[in-house]
A and B are shown apart, each in its own frame.
Chain A
Amino acid sequence: MSGDFLTMLLLVLVPVVAGVVCLALRKETLWIKEAVAVVAVIADLAITLSIYNKDLMETAKWGGFGLDFSLRVYGLSGFMLLVTAVMAALIAVYSTAFMRGRGRLNLFYFYFLVTVAFTNGALLADNLVVMLFFWEGLLAALFGFIAMGGRGAYKTAIKSFIIVGVADLCMMVGIGITGLLAGSLRMSEISLQVNSLGAAAAFILLMIGAISKGGSMPFHSWIPDAAVDAPLPFMAIGPAALEKLLGIYFLARVSLDLYKLDHGHWLSYLMMIVGAVGILLAVLMALVQKDYKKLLSFHAISQVGYMILGIGTAVPVGIVGGIFHMVNNVIYKSCLFLTGGACEKQAGATDLGRLGGLRAKMPITFVCFWIAAFSISGVPPFNGFFSKELVYDGALERHWIFYLAALVGSFFTAASFLKLGHAAYHDKLAADNQKVKEAPAAMLFPMVFLAALCVVFGLGNAIPLKFIEPVLGGHGAEGARHSFSGLPSNMLLVVMTLVVLAAAVANHFYGARKTGRGLGAVDHIHHAPVISGVYQRAERRYFDPYEFGMRVARVISRIAWGVDRFVDWIYDGLAVKAATGLSRAVRFCHDGAYTTYLVWALAGVVVMVLYVLV
């Protein structure tokens, strides 16, 4: 085993072993579990730093049939590993303070570290099956993470497990078809065209796996439930960060490396439609939420739409924008969840009706929130602005309708964050919150760090883009003409963005003044005619694809049950009746009278004679 292989493997083994150690520490220990977790993620970060900018490729024998254990680090995956390691370190530190005093910490750190390890594994894998092994392996940790939340959390855990599990199985078949078409399972060796039905089926199946991991519609409905039920660091590390990162990373690999998706292809349109619809529907749901975490969770769904739209454009600027937006989203969305956690921990609530006026009590959290909120809303010069502009540029290049969808999404994003910020941090301080203090240092540090990154990746957007641009591969020649970093090249789009943001601000002040409070700033939209009816149905889960899927499953199982009972009736009913009927008939022939038997014997003789003669 070479040193490089071992180094890569350590990225999986170190967190797993540390996780098992944490799991074994069942007793209440003061700080040992926390220490083990923090040391493990720091070791993970150190190992990642030693290899992230290298080009490594190692293989070991594993399952046969092309199932070799091949790992690879190269430009994009190295950068993703680095993002993972940084996020893991920050959220581990945050958790040491946030989770203190809660039960079952051994389970929490176990799931946390296994999630980090398997994410690393999936990013490192070059063989598709090895990737699927780690990718789908995350399911078990996802289930445990959510189930350890409050009472009733297990229902959400089951829902999440079923949705993500089903999508992962689709991906499994996609990988099988891809392996057959390419004659190899190694991503570095595969380069296919989507020119047959099989290839298109494989592409869609892989895409289902990727976007469901990213939390896109229609595989999203577990995320808002998990936001309420699961411990908050899970949201920050899972749906906000690592799952998005993995999903979009793989989506990029599928549409750039495994398959060369051209921008005229119908699958490109399919991706853009999924992205655009996801942006709009999810942001409209986010708009009317009254819970800090739930509102953020709908944005986690909406934002992934931008990434899918960007990559789906299949033009260089869109692709780069989509991936850059994912990285930015990891940063600002995690930061937002962490600020939500700070409010939950310090003020004891995430219900926006019970928060308010925290600006004075939690000034650092307040500043971090607004920086991240500006980023997600696409306000210059924060990071989200630059990536959104790239996505806009790509979308407009394909069709103005996609651009329009993205722009409308931005309006509602800004509107909902103005509402959230206003309700939580501005408005009047609630009576219960008079004694609230700023969050402890271990929670502030990750928030501040991420908020700072929002600025650094905005003003210094060349730093992350240096790692992202090489993904263009086949699109490189087209991409070479573009300059992605620095200020956006299309100033008209920037003006449009600013107009939309100004409209969102105007809308906010109109609504806030009308209702007299920040929380009511979008009530005029929420309670508008027609729209309010749609919202009511959505809140009653009329449009939850999961509920629909379960109804289909119930129909299938009813039919199957009918078939099964019918078959069973053949044995228990028909066969028994036939046997008793036969025996009754035979018994009728044996009545004990000599004459009857004589008649039978004679009849037999006649039959034999006829047989012999004829």
Chain B
Amino acid sequence: MSHEAVLLVLVFCPVLGAFALPLLGAASEKLRNVAALLMVVVSFVCSLALLGPVGRGQTVTVTFSFAPGFGLFHADMLAVFMAMVSTLVGSIIVFYSWDYISHYKERNEYYLMVVLFLGSMMGLVFARNLIFLYLFWEITALACWRLIGFFRDRTAVVRADKAFLVTVFGALMMLIGFILIYNQTGSFDYGVIKERLKVDPLPNVAAILILFGILSKSATLPLHTWLPDAGVAPSPVTALLHAAVLVKIGVYVFARLFVATFTVDPVWHQAVPIIAGASAIVAAGAALIETDIKRIIAYSTISQIGFIFLGLATGNPMGVAGGLVYILMHGLAKGGLFLCAGIVEQNTKVKDITKMGGLVKTMPVTAIAFLLCSFSVMGIPPFGGFFGKYMVITGAVNNGQVAIALTFLVGAFLTIIYLMRLFNLVFLGDLKIDAREKSPAMVASVAALAALSLVAGIFFSYPSSLAQTAVAQMLGTGVPR
């Protein structure tokens, strides 16, 4: 199979396959579950297959034969790296869903939306032009709307509407930005835009509009409060939103457009870290006050996304690579945290951490997985999160932004404190609710994510080499020593 074909399978297997899932579900629950997992795994395997050529410095582009110069899909290391992270975490989340979601109704819709969500993320990641980017962006918003409102009670529906309205409002702003770019460059194709903007940089109005869309999708201050509210969704969905797909879309598009494609005013190298820093601190502070387990982890995501933005916005190889590494490590660890929260919340039937305690005695594997994933989010070696945090902060230091680095240091302090508080209240102390971890599949999923967080840290040279290649392609520089 040619590389182009692999790329098309990677995107369309989940995007189109998703619509077959309800039909399969009518025939057999099991068949549908396996098929859903397989579709995501196929994408993961395809992204691994693309790693070979892309790792050697090649890129794979799919174009219309009648419209040369207008690329449809394009695979470089950044896209493949992102796809790998999303589909890896996504696969584990779908596997976890087998048990979790079996307790609820509307399962066919659930799998349809989840696989479509992941598939459209793939479309977005590999898109070669702004039109496809926007198209897949909005499909994810739709899928996300149904999934957040999965339980259909009034709160869930209102929260789903809030998420939808905020992100779509952002997307429409972004669309205006895209049109401005088209007016200036005469093309939607990344390659053409990149060349034309080199001569004539992106106007700041367009930058603000596009950034608006990005920040709304990645739930960054002041467009962030829909994300904690989205905690009403089933836990695998929140894991998907936080770790694998939704918030990473904004971050990815920032990397793709602001770092790899556009030539922007240097002011954004200052402004974005400041926004990200404010977001990191405000969200971390809120996480320390909040008492709902899923909302705390959601605030944690907002805070950590700030770190990723910081890395990418520095524009230097160390910082950008740090941002990419952070995406991977955060995806693994945050996915693990949410899935652990799912086990806790499904079995204890409460979300308020002040009513929990001592669960380490009855849920030992979940507790340990939660702790290990927390270590990774805090940036404690030998877990992978350490490298992300080090590289991102050093990236800022390398730009001479020591004040920004110190701001993020405060964010990192707060991260340690709120995660320890969370672990303490949920798992330590006296047992208040005697609930056990019932499902081996769910426990295995969180254990796998915790183990991956550790392995990614110990064998850091592998993810690092991918990030280095990606950065070299994005910045058009050689790989530094």
Check: A496 CB closer than 8 A to any chain B CB: no
Interface residues of B, CB < 8 Å — how many?
58
Closest-by-CB residue of B relative to A169 is B412
Q: State the CA gap A571–B225 with chains docked (Å).
A: 8
Whether A132 pairs with B226 at a CB distance below 8 angstroms is no
Q: Given A134-B381, A154-B424, A176-B405, 8 more contacts at CB 8 Å?
A: A61-B461, A67-B464, A132-B390, A161-B420, A162-B416, A176-B397, A177-B402, A553-B414
Given A557-B285, A564-B282, CB of A176 within 8 Å of CB of B390 = yes
Q: State the CA gap A170–B397 with chains docked (Å).
A: 13
Whether B413 pairs with A172 at a CB distance below 8 angstroms is no
Interface residues of A, CB < 8 Å — how many?
50
Whether A137 pairs with B285 at a CB distance below 8 angstroms is no
Q: Could you name 13 residue pairs across A and B whose Cβ atoms are closer than 8 Å?
A: A67-B464, A137-B382, A165-B416, A169-B379, A169-B409, A173-B405, A176-B393, A176-B394, A176-B398, A180-B394, A180-B397, A198-B402, A571-B225
Contacting residues, chain A, for B353 (C-beta < 8 A):
none
Given A129-B390, A165-B380, A564-B286, CB of A65 within 8 Å of CB of B428 = no
Given A62-B460, A63-B461, A173-B397, CB of A560 within 8 Å of CB of B387 = no
Check: A561 CB closer than 8 A to any chain B CB: yes
Check: A441 CB closer than 8 A to any chain B CB: no
Whether B386 pairs with A136 at a CB distance below 8 angstroms is yes
Given A61-B461, A63-B461, CB of A173 within 8 Å of CB of B281 = no
Closest-by-CB residue of B relative to A168 is B380
Closest-by-CB residue of B relative to A63 is B464
- Interface residues in B397-423 by Cβ distance below 8 A to A read 397-398, 402, 405-406, 409-410, 412-414, 416-417, 420
- Interface residues in B162-179 by Cβ distance below 8 A to A read 162, 166
Contacting residues, chain A, for B285 (C-beta < 8 A):
556-561, 564
Q: Quick one: CB contact mask for B48-63 with A, threshold 8 Å, 1 for yes?
A: 0000000000000000
Q: State the CA gap A65–B395 with chains docked (Å).
A: 10
Check: B68 CB closer than 8 A to any chain A CB: no
Given A136-B381, A173-B405, A560-B281, CB of A64 within 8 Å of CB of B468 = yes
Q: State the CA gap A52–B416 with chains docked (Å).
A: 37
Total A-B Cβ pairs within 8 A: 143
Given A553-B413, A558-B289, CB of A571 within 8 Å of CB of B166 = yes
A interface residue numbers (CB < 8 A to B): 61-67, 129, 132-134, 136-137, 139-140, 147, 154-155, 158, 161-162, 165-166, 169-170, 172-173, 175-177, 179-180, 198, 201, 550, 553-554, 556-561, 563-564, 567-568, 570-572
Whether A553 pairs with B417 at a CB distance below 8 angstroms is yes
- Closest Cβ of chain A to B462, distance in Å, is 10
Closest-by-CB residue of B relative to A114 is B382
Whether A158 pairs with B420 at a CB distance below 8 angstroms is yes
Specify which of A65, A166, A556 is in contact with B317 (CB 8 Å cutoff).
Answer: A65
B interface residue numbers (CB < 8 A to A): 162, 166, 221-222, 224-226, 281-289, 299, 317-318, 321, 375, 378-382, 386-387, 389-391, 393-394, 397-398, 402, 405-406, 409-410, 412-414, 416-417, 420, 424, 428-429, 460-461, 464-465, 467-468, 479-481
Contacting residues, chain B, for A139 (C-beta < 8 A):
375, 380
Contacting residues, chain A, for B321 (C-beta < 8 A):
64-65
Closest 6 CB pairs of A and B: A560-B285, A557-B285, A176-B394, A557-B288, A568-B225, A176-B397
- Closest Cβ of chain B to A202, distance in Å, is 9
Contacting residues, chain B, for A134 (C-beta < 8 A):
381
Q: State the CA gap A175–B379 with chains docked (Å).
A: 15
Whether A136 pairs with B480 at a CB distance below 8 angstroms is no
Interface centre among A62, A64, A129 (most CB of B within 10 A): A64
Q: State the CA gap A158–B419 with chains docked (Å).
A: 10
Q: State the CA gap A166–B412 with chains docked (Å).
A: 8
Closest-by-CB residue of A relative to B288 is A557
